[in-house]
Each structure stands twice: as structure tokens, then as C-alpha cells.
Amino acid sequence: MKVTAILLAAGQGTRMKSNLPKVLHLVAGKPMIWHALEAIKGSTTEKPVVVVGHGADEVKKYMSDSAQTVLQEPQLGTGHAVMQAESLLKGNTDLVVVCYADMPLLRGETLQKLVDLQRANKGPISILTVVADDPRGFGRILRNADGSVQAIVEEYVATPEQQLIKELNVGGYCFDANWLWDTLKRIPKNPKKGEYYLTDAIELAVQSGLSVQALVMDDVQETIGVNTRAHLAEVESAMRARINQQHMLSGVTMIDPASTYIEASVIIGKDTVIMPNTYIHGKTEIGEGNIIGPNSIIRDSKIGNRCKILSSVMEGALLDDDVDMGPFARLRKGAHLGNHVHMGNFGEVKDSYLADGVKMGHFSYIGNAQIGEDTNIGAGTITCNYDGEKKHPTEIGRDVFIGSDTMLVAPLKIGDGARTGAGSVVTKNIPEDTLVVGMPARAIKKLERKQK
């Protein structure tokens, strides 16, 4: 059986007061519409159709080929929006799931239950409803004396008595496709707003003696639709709690989940401890047994196992195992720290590889460099990699000892076992096992290297 989702995303989102289309606002680091597309994946068999209107170009650009799109212009209501997908879908699907792109908390499992309900339904519609004290402006579900669904009445036209009804229309529907295409044509234009309401399809089914099934959801949170920035914050906080809960259930310790900000795409291994006030963003993958935070920001990075990251920032960086970093270390794009690297306070590394066992304790900048195993980078060392026009590489061998406050003027190669005296300004390559001092540094003696 073919099941296709239609995602409604054409509305203006006026109350967001934003230049950005509403469905592109981020929740847990991903546009709202990404969450909606994720949720429909499990219960549908075909590529979804997104109805776009306001900000259509931007929304289409974001989705590229993850969905088909149809343009709704002008926007004449939810029924009219669904109608726009008919030419694409007629004859190509058995069931149609309709939901809104501004409900990022709606779970895939819930939509799956809705589709299952409709598969078993002899009638043409199943809908999602919820019983809640706060009606949030949602349509009310009217039921017949026998408990069956009779109609949906929008809040602004509901009688005072109907307004008291606590069962609400969430905005998730599953339709028999053939019935839907025929019925959409019969939906009357709403006299007050001049729109075609999808919700009127329910009454049309009931009038024809066909059954409408309702799946009453238990989790009110899932039904929150975003219309304002206040709703956005509410959804963000609920999504954060949900993501954190999932990580905790799979073995991650969080000292204070409320101050732990992990985006939707992050992967974390078991026995990793996340300390408070830590932000883990983007495409980040973290292994097992790490201690991260407090006060750290990690974006688009990969971290091995048993690392410690204290009050530090990493972006586009890679840590192997047992790295000890911080406090106040900064790794920028292309930084790669090998096993057992120690990077202390106020260091910055960019586009560089520090091989296993490198120590860089304090106040250094390493850029466009390759550093060999067990080399020690003294406090205040700087790779002077930029001449105002170009970046130049620095290659430092293994077992090198760079004295405090050394300036390494790139391009430069420093041989294995070399040493620089404190305050050296190195402008020429240093051969293996050579001690250089001064400014500019010059060779003063040949060294004996300790055998390991």
C-alpha cells in the first residue's frame, strides 16, 4: 500500500515577525521542517510533497531533493493547500498523510499509529486529537452521542458551549486518497475567511455516513505548533529535554540536563559524562568514557574515547583517544589531536596535526603545522604562519622541545630531537638534534638525543 505525506508549509507565519520563512527557524539546530520530514519517514512509503507558498524559494532550496514541492499561490486555506498536491499524487498513492511543517515535536511513532488506524478504518479519514486544558486556539472535536466524531469546529466560530470542549484537532490526518481528491472539490469556501478548510472534510464524510476515526494522543507536548517566538522557545526546550532523555537512556550521564544543549544530529557513546552549560552542535560524534564540560562548546567535531574537555571550544576538530584539553583551549577547523595529547590553557590550534603524546601546556598558537610524537610545545609558542598574504606550513619532528615564547616563522622545518631556547625567533629550518637560540635563532651546538 502506497502512503504519501503532504506537509503544509505555505502559510506566512506572520506572528514570528521574521524575514526567514517560519518552517526554516531552527529547533535543536535543525529547521522545523527537517523535524517534520523526519517524523513522516517511518510511516510513509513515497517521497513527501511539501506545499510551499510564503518564502517558497528558500524553503525549496533547503529541501533540495528530499521532497517534491507544489506551490500554493495564493494561500486559500488548509483544504486548498492539500488540493495543490492532487495533480502530483492522484493515482500514485493509496493513503495520504497530511500534517503541518510547524509542529516539530510530533513523533514518527504517532503518525505510524495514525496510519495503522486508517488502514483498519472502513471510512475515509483518521485524525489526531488530544485532550488538553489549554485549547491554544485549536479547532474543537465535536462528537455524536455514540462517541463517534461528528465535525471539527474552529475556535473563532465555536459557540461558548463548544469552546469548553477539551478535545482538540491536532492537525494530523490520514485519508483514503481517492476519497480525498473527490471530497476536496466539495469543500465549501468558508464564508467568513474566504478559505477552504481541510477540517470540513470530516463533516462531509460523516454526512455521507462514513466513519471518521480519532487517535487521542497522550502527550500534549507533541501537539505544540509554532506560531510565535515564544512557542519556538517552548518547543526548543521540550525538544532539548527529549534529546537529553534519549542520550541518558542510552548510557550518557548528564549532571544537569536543563543546562545541557545537544542538537538533534549529535551522537554520544556510553559512559561519557556531560557537565553543565555545555553545547554540542552540528554533526558531532563523541565516543565513550569522555568527560565534557562544564562550559564547553563543541561543533561539527569528532571525539574519541576517554578524553577530558574542560571549559573549551572546538569547531570542525578531531580528537583521538585520551586527549586532555583545557581549561580555555580552542580548536578550530582542521585541528587534529592524537592520542594522549595534552593541551592546556589558552592554546589555539587550527589546521594542524599534533601526533600522539604532544604536550602544549600554555598560551600557544599552532596553525598549519604538523607536530611529531612526544614533542613539547613550550608556553607562548607561536607558529607565525601568515605573512599577510599567504599561510605557510610548519613541520616539527618528533621529540622536539620548543622553548617558551618561541616564534616559529613559517615556512619552516624542524628536525627530530631539536630544541629551541626560550624566546628564540626561528626563521630557518633546524636540522635534527640541534639546539638553536636567539633572534633570529642560530645553531650553537649539536645535541645527543636520549634513546627510548
Q: Which residues are catalytic?
A: 362
Taking CB within 5 to 8 Å according to partner kind, which of ligand UD1, Mg ion, none is near residue 402?
none
Task: Give yes or no for residue 262 binding ligand UD1 (CB under 6 A).
Answer: no
Q: Which long-range contacts (CB under 8 A, 24 or more apart) does 301-304 make?
A: 301/331, 304/339
Taking CB within 5 to 8 Å according to partner kind, which of ligand UD1, Mg ion, none is near residue 198?
ligand UD1
Under 8 Å between Cβ of 213 and 149:
yes
Task: List the x/- string, 208-247, binding to ligand UD1 by CB under 6 A.
Answer: -----------------x----------------------
Q: How far is CA 52 from CA 95, 201, 301, in A?
A: 21, 22, 34
Distance of alpha carbon 442 from alpha carbon 405, whole angstroms: 16
Taking CB within 5 to 8 Å according to partner kind, which of Mg ion, ligand UD1, none is near residue 106?
none
Identify the bridge partners of residue 130 per DSSP, sorted by sequence position.
168, 217
- Tell me which stretch binds ligand UD1 (CB under 6 A): 63-71, 73-81, 203-211, 421-429: 73-81
Helix or strand or coil: residue 261?
Answer: strand
Q: Where are the alpha helices (DSSP H) in 190-228?
A: 200-207
Residue type (1 letter), 10? A
196 closest CA partner among 21, 57, 10, 50 = 10
Q: What is the DSSP letter of 225?
A: P
Q: In the set 18, 68, 75, 370, which binds ligand UD1 (CB under 6 A)? A: 75
Task: List the x/- string, 212-251, binding to Mg ion by CB under 5 A.
Answer: -------------x--------------------------
Query: What φ, ψ does residue 397 adopt, rounded to 5°?
Result: -75, -165
Task: Give yes or no for residue 141 binding ligand UD1 (CB under 6 A).
Answer: no
The site that binds Mg ion (CB under 5 A) totals a number of residues, namely 1
Indicate the residue whose CB is closest to Mg ion: 225
Q: How far is the CB of 157 from ligand UD1 (least distance, A)?
A: 10
- For 136, counting Cβ atoms within 10 Å of its Cβ (0-12 exposed, 13-18 middle, 19+ buried), the class is middle
Q: In the set 36, 39, 63, 80, which binds ligand UD1 (CB under 6 A)? A: 80
Q: What is the DSSP letter of 430?
A: B
Identify the bridge partners of residue 154 per DSSP, sorted by sequence position.
none
Q: In the set 139, 287, 338, 357, which binds ligand UD1 (CB under 6 A)? A: 139
Task: List the x/- string, 31-70, binding to ligand UD1 by CB under 6 A.
Answer: --------------------x-x-----------------
22 closest CA partner among 6, 33, 38 = 33
Task: Give yes or no for residue 172 binding ligand UD1 (CB under 6 A).
Answer: no
Task: Give yes or no for residue 340 binding ligand UD1 (CB under 6 A).
Answer: no
Q: How far is the CB of 54 from ligand UD1 (least distance, A)?
A: 8
Cis omega (within 30 of 0) on the bond before 440?
yes
Give the interface with ligand UD1 as residue ranges (CB under 6 A). 8-11, 51, 53, 72, 75-78, 80-81, 100-102, 138-139, 152, 154, 168-169, 171, 197-199, 225
